[in-house]
Amino acid sequence: HEHVAILSATYAQSKWCLDELFLMKNSGAFIIPVFYKVDPSMVRWTVKDGALAEALRQHEQKTTHDPGTGKQKPRYSSDTIQNWRNALSYVADLSGFVYGAEDDEGELLENVVEAVLKKVPKTLLDVAKYPTGLDIRLEDLEKTVLSQWQERELGEAKVVGIVGAGGLGKTTLAKQFFNLRRSDYNSSSFVFDVRENARTKSLAYLQSKLLGELMPSKDVKIQSRDEGIGILKRYLSSCHVLIVLDDVDHVDQLEAFLPVKKILKPDSLILVTSRDKHVLKTSGVLESSIYSVKGMNTLRSKELFCCYAFHQPDPVPDFADLVDRFVKACGGLPLSLKVFGAMVFGENENYWQEILDKLDISSSEIYDKLKISYKSLSKELKEIFLDIACFFLGEDGDKAKRIWGEVGVRNLQDKCLLELNENNEIKMHDHIRDMGRKIAEKGSKPLRLWDSGIKIIDDLLEQPSTVRTSTNHSFICLPFN
């Protein structure tokens, strides 16, 4: 909890206000004092002159009838008076806001709201069910970040990249770092799926999202990328922030955000995940500032696979050889280890062998490997999977359960083909999402059309009778803009 104590010249006249302030002090919660037309020194020195000191003296002089003795006695004990005085002195020494007669009350309110929002604990990002090997990668990333204190340009925020092939766990690593380090900064923002959102929405949308998370009290609508750069520079000047830009694949995307590094506090950090090191280097990120994520070694791969296949870190008897073959086929890729481990959970040796045979004849491309997981689904689950991959990513999980039933959604979760994040939004790894959309684009019925099929949608809308009568279309998903 956070407390806001608004102290005025008449504050100490109220016993209830003083009792409340004493409880705030003893609660251990964060207190934001607002000195409303009163100097903090007048609150601090309550034993001397001033309105608050006079109010406390009046409380000391108040009496009440004692039925036992029939005489008057002090209404408040000396301990109570001292508790009030201590609470006032304590709050007066805290960092807060001073409002004078000539100040703007609206601006004060805005600043107080922003201060409270910054102190409210934020929900941790969901990282990984089994964080095998994450500790080692996090340690290496920390070393890369720390090394930039010496190498970064004077007066600029640090920019550190995390690069590697898809499915290696770049986003997982960035989320873990974000969860552990966000409290070191005054504000923080994790911008997910930059590549996908820049394509389906806009960079201006992502800039608005970033500003809204870093400065919740600012309600600014950004209309274009270039306008957004100027707005971010204006509002984030001298701010101490942690920013994560996830899954960047084009220089233009970084150019929409990186200009702010020159106006942020120098100990701010911008972390970027990408599959393409060239994009980072072209944008001015130093080679020494880039951490390359490698595949997992055999020991860690086996542990991660077994966690999903057996819900324990070691193989069960009679499956050790099969586990070794799966680990080799997955090539140290955490995404493959996770998906195939979940696929064979609870299945017999014959099923394991059948999946292995398909893996052995598939190409080294992750798309071909992941397609095996799709083919193993029942007909109903295939339809649910394709619908979600095409239309429902980012939607509320309860909506999906109402449409397809909780059992179907949970089955896809159990097979690690989708997940619900900390906000109950539907998410898929980008490889799994792309795999689903590639399958949908090949013309399976019912035909699914989304943003990539705008031309087809335009053609359909020119023939309204076709849309009304066709049984081969389950959704036509149009952008609102």
Residues carrying an active site annotation: 20
* CB of 160 closer than 8 Å to CB of 270: yes
CA pair distance 97, 102, nearest whole angstrom: 14
Total H helices, total E strands in the chain: 23, 14
Asked if residues 397 and 406 have their Cβ atoms less than 8 Å apart, the reply is no
DSSP, res 395: S
Burial of 102 (0-12, 13-18, 19+ CB in 10 A): exposed
Q: Identify the three-state secondary structure at position 357.
A: helix
- Between CA 131 and CA 138 the distance in angstroms is 11
User: Phi/psi of residue 157, each to 5°?
Assistant: -70, 155
**Contact, 257 vs 207, CB < 8 A?**
yes
Beta bridge pairs of residue 473: 447
Distance of CA 55 to the CA centre of its chain: 48
Least Cα distance to 457 among 444, 471, 475, 433 occurs for 475
Question: How deeply is 449 buried, as exposed, middle or buried, from its count of CB atoms within 10 A (0-12, 13-18, 19+)?
Answer: buried
Beta strands 426-427; 269-274: pairing state:
unpaired
